Structure 1
Amino acid sequence: MTVPAVSFEFFPPQNLEASFRLWDTVQVLSPLAPRFVSVTYGAGGTTRDLTRDAVATLHKNSGLNVAAHLTCVKATKEETLEIANTFAEAGVTEIVALRGDPPKDEGKFTVHPGGFESSVELIAALKDTGKFTIRVGAYPEKHPEAATATADVEYLKRKFDAGADEALTQFFFDKEHFLRFRDACVKAGIDKPIVPGIMPIENWKGIRRFAVNTGTTIPAWMDDAFEKAARDGRQDLLATAICTEMCTDLLGEGVDKLHFYTLNRPELTRDVCHALGVTPQVQLENVA
């Protein structure tokens, strides 16, 4: 079995306890030598400053290749590119460029006055700077706002045409969703890397709510399986087995990179990686 290259997504801490959790997560996962780690924005750009601080600290102290999320929400074009240039000046040249989710009280994305109208426009502007490797989002299942699944593929092609280098997908529970999406992308003429996003199930009820909100299909058997596992205290064992099996199947279909959504809780991600043959390569020396 091919040993995959891996990457990890973190979210920025909003209090002291969360800061310790992020550093613990970095300590656990950094020995696996990820291609990069990314730090998210909150909905509506709510964690913009926290993201910037976390990215700068990780870049300075962890030795990891850090990618910063950047969105179009609640900022002018000039303000957004200023943030991007701040990252570049700090030595961070990896960007995950997204339209971004609207603030929770607004319901739908509204273009900020003077702001980027779409992720495609943001990608093109970042590409013009010549400073960044640009990653983008992709949706193996229909985006909640997309008219059709075909529209998702066409929009992803526009992102690549605008200058994106790689796509990271939304998480999914059935590998067939990813494989069908990958085939559709090839048919549409997309030849850039599309990396499956993997969500180890740390908490089934929480992940289930997230899946419902993002339009991710939930296999009928999963509710029953996690209910039974909870009675025996075997949720983590079940989650590790499910995730490892799906990743193994993806590797068997020619996938060579995996992107893990860690939720700043690294143990399941670490265990799945170990099961896939991704073993410690380096030790983190200085995180402060």
Structure 2
Amino acid sequence: MPAPRVSFEFFPPQTLEASFRLWETVQMLAPLRPEFVSVTYGAGGTTRKLTHEAVTTIGRATGLNVAAHLTCVDATRTETLDIARCYAEAGVTEIVALRGDAPKGATRFTAHPEGFANSVELIEALAATGHFNLRVGAYPEPHPDAADTLADVRWLKRKIEAGASSAITQFFFEPETFLRFRDLCAKEGITAPIIPGILPIENWAGVKRFAARCGAQVPGWLDEAFRAAARDEREELLSVALCTELCDTLISEGVEDLHFYTLNRPHLTREVCHALGITAQPALEKVA
């Protein structure tokens, strides 16, 4: 069975120490020759400038195909499209187009009075420029603002019809969660690739908090497994084993692409990739 194609998500640094950690992450994972890497937009659009700097720097220094996250949060249509234009002028051809989360302190997303009301409007506007390959988010478990998974699937179909080429899912803990979602997407007529989002677990307590915010269900058996592993100081070993098993099951079910949420901590992601048969390749030529 061939090794899957992989991609990696990074977030932009806000301190000098974080800058070093991001660059270490890029250097460690770039030799695995990802299909693309993406750089997130901070909650509420707070890292807009930092995201632009990280995207352009990584692309220029490594030659990797870098996708920039772009959201509807706290910006007018003109401001958002100006950011996209700057990306196009810098040679960035990939965008992950998202509605975005509510700004800090708010409980729900509220569109800017002169901004895009939702992700579909954003995707339509970006697609109309003709400059970008657009990827979007997908939710194998109901998004906190969605009525149910079927509503999420039908909204995903609208995003694909608006101009997106593929979707990247929120992370999940059991392969059946993704496989049921993929089947439902197929039933609703979605033919675009749906790439599972994979989160190697660096800190179990932190991941549980993250899961609660985004609606990912935590299986009881997994919570107990990490409690037992903590007693034996074997959390990292457990994390690599579980993540590798999750990915291997997905691959056996026909998944050809995996998107890793690295949290700018590359060691577990690299270990899982190695276990899946993804090894370092000759260095890419740097772009002048």
**TM-score, length-scaled by structure 1:** 0.98
Q: CA deviation at 1:104?
A: 2.0
In structure 1, the partner of 2:77 is: 77
In structure 2, the partner of 1:173 is: 173
State the secondary structure of the residue aligned to 2:18.
helix
Q: Which whole-Å deviations, capped at 9, do the CAs of 1:191-238 have from their partners, x for residues lacking one?
A: 000000000001101011101111101110112211111122211100
Distance 1:186 1:247 in 2: 21
In structure 2, the partner of 1:280 is: 280
Distance 1:142 1:277 in 2: 32
* Kept in 2: contact 1:27–1:284 (CA 8 A): no
Matches within 5 A, 1:25-36: 25-36=25-36
1:204 partnered with 2:204: yes
Q: Which whole-Å deviations, capped at 9, do the CAs of 1:19-54 have from their partners, x for residues lacking one?
A: 000000001100000000000011100111110111
Matches within 5 A, 1:207-218: 207-218=207-218
* Kept in 2: contact 1:30–1:282 (CA 8 A): no
216-225 or 261-270, which moves further after superposition?
216-225
In structure 1, the partner of 2:50 is: 50
Q: Which whole-Å deviations, capped at 9, do the CAs of 1:67-120 have from their partners, x for residues lacking one?
A: 000000010001000000100100001000000011120111111021000000
70-79 or 229-238, which moves further after superposition?
229-238
Q: CA deviation at 1:282?
A: 2.6
In structure 1, the partner of 2:267 is: 267
Distance 2:45 2:74 in 1: 7
State the secondary structure of the residue aligned to 2:269.
helix
Q: How many residues align?
A: 288
The one-letter code of the counterpart of 2:220 is A
Distance 1:211 1:248 in 2: 22
In structure 2, the partner of 1:237 is: 237
* Kept in 2: contact 1:124–1:163 (CA 8 A): yes
Distance 1:223 1:121 in 2: 39
Distance 2:202 2:62 in 1: 25
Distance 2:73 2:47 in 1: 11
Q: CA deviation at 1:285?
A: 7.1
Q: CA deviation at 1:283?
A: 2.8
5+ residue gaps, structure 1, are none
Distance 1:79 1:286 in 2: 31
Q: Which runs of 4+ in 1 moved over 4 A?
A: 284-287
In structure 2, the partner of 1:136 is: 136
Distance 1:71 1:282 in 2: 34
Distance 1:74 1:282 in 2: 42
State the secondary structure of the residue aligned to 1:179.
helix
* Kept in 2: contact 1:6–1:260 (CA 8 A): yes
* Kept in 2: contact 1:73–1:102 (CA 8 A): yes
Q: Which whole-Å deviations, capped at 9, do the CAs of 1:243-265 have from their partners, x for residues lacking one?
A: 00010000000000000000000
In structure 2, the partner of 1:246 is: 246
Distance 2:176 2:142 in 1: 14
Q: Which whole-Å deviations, capped at 9, do the CAs of 1:102-161 have from their partners, x for residues lacking one?
A: 112011111102100000000000000000000000000111110111100000000000
The one-letter code of the counterpart of 1:91 is G
Distance 1:204 1:53 in 2: 31
Distance 1:210 1:111 in 2: 24
* Kept in 2: contact 1:7–1:35 (CA 8 A): yes
Matches within 5 A, 1:14-29: 14-29=14-29
Distance 2:164 2:269 in 1: 27
State the secondary structure of the residue aligned to 1:268.
helix
In structure 2, the partner of 1:185 is: 185
The one-letter code of the counterpart of 2:190 is I
State the secondary structure of the residue aligned to 1:209.
helix
The one-letter code of the counterpart of 2:118 is S
State the secondary structure of the residue aligned to 2:134.
strand
Q: CA deviation at 1:284?
A: 6.0
247-256 or 99-108, which moves further after superposition?
99-108
